[in-house]
Every structure is written in structure tokens, then in C-alpha cells.
Chain A
Amino acid sequence: METLLQQIINGIVLGAVYALVALGYTMVYGILGLINFAHGEVVMVGAMVTLAVIKLLAGTGLPLVVQLLIGLAVSIPACMALGAGIERVAYRPLRNAPRLAPLITAIGVSIILQYLVVLVWGRTYHPYPELLPTTPFDLAGARISPAQVAIIFFSALVMAGLLWLVHHTRLGRAMRATAENPVVARLMGVNVNHVVTMTFAIGSALGAVAGVLVSINYSVAHYQMGFILGLKAFTAAVLGGIGNLGGAMVGGLLLGLIEALGSGYVGDLTGGLFGSNYRDVFAFLVLIVVLIFRPSGLLGERVAERA
């Protein structure tokens, strides 16, 4: 039985990844009022492309960390282009269509991306190489691996960068203005389509990083990994209040903690009837409870129902 502190560490690591992915959902929702259900697949592509690059570099003798960074340097722009392309092809033509239409194209895009990845890399579970030292640090009896430290560090760094961009740059100001009132933003000279493209691109960059981090965490990547991860991150975004950046971060962390603690203690609580393989249930319990009792999320304002 792992200690409470160990569960909390695991929960924070998991939550940091959920938060990164949740930001992609919440940014797009904030600007377009649309849920980009293909985002999970972008995350998966980020993990797969990075892995492919690392495999290419395998014989070069470069340090693994350098290989990882080169992999990210390829997969981040690739995912940015992919995310922006998805918006262009699957959502922009439907901007004035009924709200169900982009949801359906999102599912179509997800399926296409999954099968493209199957075509290139197959259906197998790809073991992710041990990119970082594996000897864990000892923290008051709990273990924290260098990979876990890296996940927390990278996530925090990327999120701080995002907050800085949104609050202190011209693009960030244009994004906030567009989220608040696209019609008036246009009157200020903002090219709203450009802002939308950048929003998808930035969200996808965070997604690529998250995909790599989660693969490192579980030492595996495969073509369906984006589905459940996407759903959980979406849950995290709703939990925090969709459209709200801080909400996505808080929601992600909370969901990670709930999941880690829940799966850690579910066996005790149910007298061994359910085991930790029920971990995925917690995210969806959270989603249902939030949707019933506080659909606007923890930090969200009341969102008026859009037709």
C-alpha cells in the first residue's frame, strides 16, 4: 500500500498533464464557444511524432535528453500546424452552422488522425524510451522519479509562459479581446481569423508537450491514447470552468488528485470489490457531478446556453 504522500505526488504529476491538455480545450472554447474534440488526437500525434524522431536519432549517440528536446522541436511545430489546419478545414467553414455540425466533424477528424497514425506506426503499443535517469528521489518515504520532477517542472514552465503571453503580449490582448467580444475586437483592427488560428496553434503546442510528458510518465504511446486523455482533460476544463485559463489549471490538478487518491483507496473503500483498474471511473463521476451541480465549473462564470 502506497502512502498518502505518494498518492498526492502521483496525483500532481497526472494533474499537471491534464491541466496542459485542458488549456487547449478551454482556450478554443473561450474564443469560439466550440469544443474541439479532436484535441486529444493532436496530443497523441505529439507523442508519436516525438517518439519517431527519437527513434531516428537512436544511433547518433546524442544524450537522451537532447534527443527528447529535438523531438519536441519537431513535434511542437508539427502539432501547431495540425491544430491550425484542423480549425481551417473542419471548423471554419462551419462557423455559422448549427452547433452540432462542428462536433460531428471533430469526431471525423479524430478518426482520420487515429487511422493515419495506425497507417504509419501501426496499432501496437510503442514503449517510450527511458529518456531520463530512473533512480527515484526519496521524499519523506515517498518516491518521486526524475521523470515526474521533469513533468511537474515542464508543465509549470509552459503554463507560466502561456499566462505571460495571454496577459502581457499584443497577441494575448487580442485573444482576450476576441474572447470577450469578437465584433468589437474586429473594429479595433484585430484579424479575428488570425487570432483563432493562433489559439489553435498555441493550444496544440501545449498538447504536444503534454503528449510527450504523459508518454514518459507511462512509458508507452499508442494511437488511442488521445481519446481517454482528451476526455479527462475536457472534464478538467469543465470542472475548473470552461473558458477560464486558471480554471483549466486548477481543474486539471484537482482531477489528477481525485483520480490518484480515488484509485489508491477504492480497494479499501469497497472492501476489495473494485481495484485501481477503476481509476478512469473517477473522472467521469466528476464530470457528471459537475454538470449536475455546477455546470459553470469552479471558477467559471455562468455561461448562457448557446443555441
Chain B
Amino acid sequence: MAKAVLDVLNLEVHYGGIAAVKGISFAVEEGEMVCLIGANGAGKTSTLKALVRMLPSRGEIHYGGARVDHDESHVLVGKGLALVPEGRGVFARMSVAENLAMGAYLRRDAAGVQKDLEEVYALLPRLRERQRQLAGTLSGGEQQMLAIGRALMGRPRLLLLDEPSMGLAPIMVQRVFELIRAIAERGVSILLVEQNARLALETCHRGYVMESGLITLADTAAKLAADPRVRAAYLGE
């Protein structure tokens, strides 16, 4: 597993006495796109939050070859582990440009930041047109694009995405997934949590299926998409 950018062993997350994640192990290799699918309440968001230390957890989290489960969230971003949270979390009262600047908060290389900003604007021309607008006035799809663009401004090595397609019109869902593919092509590793299992499995290399806090299936995306259990439970067949 020398190439794994993320390696998780026996991760557990508890809310009070209730276990939401019950000891799961999984990995993301360098440059890989991996998805985590599962029904509502399966524990996907809890898993991502534990990875970025928004929640306390048990078990081991190895990122970039080092153990990080005692790091603080704001330190992990600096190491290239970025989360685009469920519900996007754009700063509604700040402009689009300021949101993007927040994504580069820890960076001191002004020239590099400027170059990445140009790249994000090239990837997402809508954001350039609206750079002075308050983020709260953007459409849901534009906000999702902004949230992803903002994460890119931190030059992530591993990007965690929590349901980026949630609540978006089909055309916007397509655009968001195109964007995710474009990001992966630049060499960023991706861990994608999705309700839209069909699209997630079409997009990613590998996948994990999560049910009530446990990983019940792990395989290549193609094999998962062909698995009758997955087809019945998540692909509506």
C-alpha cells in the first residue's frame, strides 16, 4: 500500500453512545477516484468529517504516509486534504472572489495563487463573470461549482466531496461531474460520497458500499455496477 494517499483502519465514529461508523477500513491510491455510496444515514458524512477531524473518532487515519488522526482540521488543509462539505458551505455574505481567496487562505505564494485563480476561472467561467457578486446570490449549481473551485485554490492532493450533486438539476449534475473528472485528470486523488450511485460508479475507478456504519462491499466500480445487490439497492433495478 505504499502508493495509498489515504489509508483508513477500523474507523469508528460515535455520537454520544450511538455508533454511526462501526469500524471501517478503506484506502484511496494516488491519482485514484474512489466513491463511497450508501443509503441515507449509512454514515458517509460522518466518515468524511472524521477524516478531516471535524469529529473525533477511533481507529487509524494515514494520509500521505503519516498518521493524521491527532491533527487539527485547519492543519490538515495545509497538507492538501480538502473537504467540500455537504450543503456546499459557501460564505454567502462574501463575494465569489473572496470565497476563492478563502480557499487559498494558508498559501503565501501570491504568484501561485494568482495562477491557480486564473485556472479556476478558466475551468469555471461563470465564476469569473460573477466574481464580485455575493456568493449567497448564486444558484445552487453555481454555489457547488464555487465550493469545489474554492477547494482547488488550496491545491489539494486529496479532495473529499460530500454529495456534490445534491439538489441540483440534471444538467448541473452533469457539469459537476465533468468538473470532478477534469480535476482528477490534473492528478488530484478523489474520494466521492454520492447518493447518485449510477453516476458515481460510472465516474470512479473503485467504490465502497456502506450500510449502517459498515462497509459491506468493496470492488472496482465496474464490478459494483454489475453486482445484482448494488443494482437492486442503489441503481433502482
Residues of A within 8 A of B (CB): 170, 173-174, 176-177, 180-181, 183-192
Quick check: B77 and A173 within 8 Å, CB to CB? no
Contact (A177, B54) CB under 8 Å given A187-B82, A187-B89, A189-B74: no
What are 29 A-B interface contacts by the 8 Å CB criterion? A173-B94, A173-B102, A176-B91, A176-B93, A177-B91, A177-B94, A177-B102, A180-B93, A181-B91, A183-B54, A183-B85, A183-B89, A184-B89, A185-B102, A187-B52, A187-B74, A187-B82, A187-B85, A188-B74, A188-B105, A189-B74, A189-B75, A189-B77, A189-B78, A189-B105, A190-B105, A191-B72, A191-B74, A192-B74
Kindly report which residue of chain B lies nearest to residue A187, judged by CB atoms.
B83
Q: Is B29 an interface residue (CB 8 A)?
A: no
Expressed in whole angstroms, the minimum distance between the Cβ of B163 and any Cβ of chain A is: 15
Residues of B within 8 A of A191 (CB): 72, 74
Kindly report which residue of chain B lies nearest to residue A301, judged by CB atoms.
B93
Quick check: B77 and A188 within 8 Å, CB to CB? yes
Residues of B within 8 A of A176 (CB): 91, 93-94
Give the residues from 65 to 96 in chain B that come closer than 8 angstroms, CB to CB, to chain A.
72-75, 77-78, 82-83, 85, 89, 91-94
Quick check: B91 and A189 within 8 Å, CB to CB? no
A180 and B88 CA atoms in complex are apart in Å by 14
Question: In the complex, how many residues of chain B place their beta carbon closer than 8 angstroms to a beta carbon of chain A?
Answer: 24
Residues of B within 8 A of A180 (CB): 91-94
Residues of B within 8 A of A186 (CB): 54, 73-74
Expressed in whole angstroms, the minimum distance between the Cβ of A59 and any Cβ of chain B is: 48
Residues of A within 8 A of B72 (CB): 191
Contact (A188, B103) CB under 8 Å given A173-B98, A183-B54: yes
- List 9 tightest A-B contacts by C-beta distance, closest first: A189-B106, A184-B89, A189-B77, A186-B73, A188-B102, A189-B105, A188-B105, A189-B74, A180-B91
Q: Is B38 an interface residue (CB 8 A)?
A: no
Residues of A within 8 A of B83 (CB): 187
Kindly report which residue of chain A lies nearest to residue B106, judged by CB atoms.
A189
- For A174, give its contact among B78, B92, B105 (CB under 8 Å): B105
A228 and B204 CA atoms in complex are apart in Å by 64
Give the residues from 135 to 193 in chain B that come closer than 8 angstroms, CB to CB, to chain A.
150, 154
Residues of A within 8 A of B102 (CB): 173-174, 177, 185, 188, 190
